Amino acid sequence: MQSAEDALIKLLAKKCKTTGDISANLKKLFGPILQEMLEAEMDQHLGYKKHSNTGDNSGNSRNGYSDKTIKTDVGEVMVSIPRDRNGEFEPIVIRKHERRVSELEERIIAMYAKGMSTRDIQDHLKDLYGVNASASLISDITDRVMPLVTEWQSRPLDRVYAIVFLDAFNFKVRKDNRIVNKAVYTVIGINMAGFKDVLGIWIGEAESATFWIGILNNLRARGVEDILIVSTDGLAGFSEAVNAVFPKTEVQLCVIHQIRNTLKYVANKDRGPLMQDLKLVYKALTIEEAELNFNAFKEKWQSKYPHATKSWETHWLELTTFFKYPQEIRRIMYTTNTIENYHRRLRKVTKTKTAYPNDEALLKILYLATMDATKKWTQPLKEWGYITSQFAILFADRLREGDFI
């Protein structure tokens, strides 16, 4: 027996001579099907079908229609949105104030998330789908993610995180008819189950410890009670900012950042020999060995490069926090590579823009790029089972059984 679907296909085939005929006939079908879906939703809302006596004295009834033009993949379609007398009906298939019912929106957002410029998206839509999309239309469509950004930025977080990485990087944004640098603050957390997650993105002025205090308080307000270890670069006043909000948190300054800063003061001809001596410090097996090797390093290089050696002395405690932990934990925490790799993904997506029109436009692309980048973060970190057992011993007084789920 022939199915209704097969019958419809055969009927359409008889009416079509070209691919253009297919599109035209699909457009003719789309409107009536959409209308039937709206009528079904109204039936469900009222609890009775159109013209049924069941609705008499029910307290609510149909109250005519509002015509609306909807943009779809097959072009513009006119539909009549049913109304009820109580003004309570809100259709799902076409939401209030919505004028597009199209997978094209998802495609536009996906292209935007990959870093394609508005011009590239317009050309792509024209070439592949024959659609002329204005720059304002693309902006309107991508702006629809902003409520999702707000929801994501305020979502509840875990009670405790094993390691949290904090870092900021700069973008150019237009402000008062000029272009200024804005700091984008990002936080990545590794929870007690070993999974990475971007906990938030914030936009502010130049990076400062004061702004970081606000972010850390935001994490606390969203449910974070404790962070075991924070890994970050050497921003002045940062450790005090962390401990003001999370007093028990261990702070690890990024060793790689420290090395880069050290080499700024070293002549090219000395960089090789100095780095060989410095590796003996941060590659040591124990803190005692590191201290001995640093003393030798200082004795050899201090007279020539006093600022380089002084910087290591000033930050010694926070540069060597990782020596308290086994190698499996050390390799994760002693650098901010985890968050820098994420930043590289964002840079790759945003490189097509020299400046953003406002903070919201910048936040929008960073959020979409983040959602795209984190799709692959589906597995716990390598050797996390062993790492968890170490954390359970080292921080027994701060962890609960439920934290590891």
Please tell me the predicted confidence (pLDDT) of residue 23: 66
Query: Which of the pair, 102 or 179, is modelled with greater confidence?
Result: 179
Q: What is the DSSP string of 14-36?
A: HH-SSHHHHHHHHHHHHHHHHHH
Among 108-117, 172-181, 299-308, the minimum mean pLDDT is found in 108-117
Last residue of a domain, one of 89, 115, 137: 89
**What mean pLDDT is predicted for residues 132-138?**
76
The predicted model scores a pTM of 0.73
Rounded to whole angstroms, the Cα distance separating 376 from 342 reads: 12
List pLDDT tens digits, range 353-373: 888 888 998 999 999 899 989
Please tell me the predicted confidence (pLDDT) of residue 12: 63
341 with 193, same domain? yes
Please tell me the predicted confidence (pLDDT) of residue 58: 77
% pLDDT > 70, the chain? 87
306 with 389, same domain? yes
Domain count of the fold of the chain: 2
Please tell me the predicted confidence (pLDDT) of residue 398: 95
Please tell me the predicted confidence (pLDDT) of residue 33: 66
Retrieve residue 28's tokens: 């003719």
User: 271 in helix, strand or coil?
Assistant: helix
**What mean pLDDT is predicted for residues 222-239?**
90
Last residue of a domain, one of 89, 119, 145: 89
Cβ(189)–Cβ(197) under 8 Å?
A: yes
Q: Which of 34, 58, 61 is nearest to 50 (CA)?
A: 61
User: 211 in helix, strand or coil?
Assistant: helix
Domain that holds residue 50: 1-89
Tell me if 149 is assigned to some domain. no
210 with 354, same domain? yes
Query: Which of the pair, 381 or 52, is modelled with greater confidence?
Result: 381
Indicate the pLDDT class of residue 206, thresholds 50, 70 and 90: confident
Tell me if 323 is assigned to some domain. yes
Q: What is the DSSP letter of 401?
A: G
In the predicted structure, residue 2 carries a pLDDT above the cut 60: no
62 with 176, same domain? no
Rounded to whole angstroms, the Cα distance separating 358 from 344 reads: 22
Cβ(379)–Cβ(188) under 8 Å?
A: no
List pLDDT tens digits, range 15-40: 677 766 666 666 666 677 677 767 87
In the predicted structure, residue 8 carries a pLDDT above the cut 70: no
Mean pLDDT of the chain: 86
Please tell me the predicted confidence (pLDDT) of residue 148: 87
List pLDDT tens digits, range 266-310: 999 999 999 999 999 999 999 999 999 999 999 999 999 999 899
Query: Residue 40: how many CA atoms within 13 Å on its side-chain side?
Result: 9
Tell me if 288 is assigned to some domain. yes
**What mean pLDDT is predicted for residues 29-55?**
77
> Cβ neighbours of residue 46 under 8 Å, at least 6 residues apart?
55, 58, 60, 61, 62, 84
Query: Residue 152: how many CA atoms within 13 Å on its side-chain side?
Result: 18
186 with 73, same domain? no
Tell me if 372 is assigned to some domain. yes
> Cβ neighbours of residue 68 under 8 Å, at least 6 residues apart?
78, 79, 80, 81, 94, 99
In the predicted structure, residue 64 carries a pLDDT above the cut 80: yes
Tell me if 127 is assigned to some domain. no
162 with 85, same domain? no
Tell me if 134 is assigned to some domain. no
Query: Residue 348: how many CA atoms within 13 Å on its side-chain side?
Result: 12
Please tell me the predicted confidence (pLDDT) of residue 103: 61
Among 40-44, 99-103, 272-276, 329-333, the minimum mean pLDDT is found in 99-103
Last residue of a domain, one of 89, 114, 137: 89
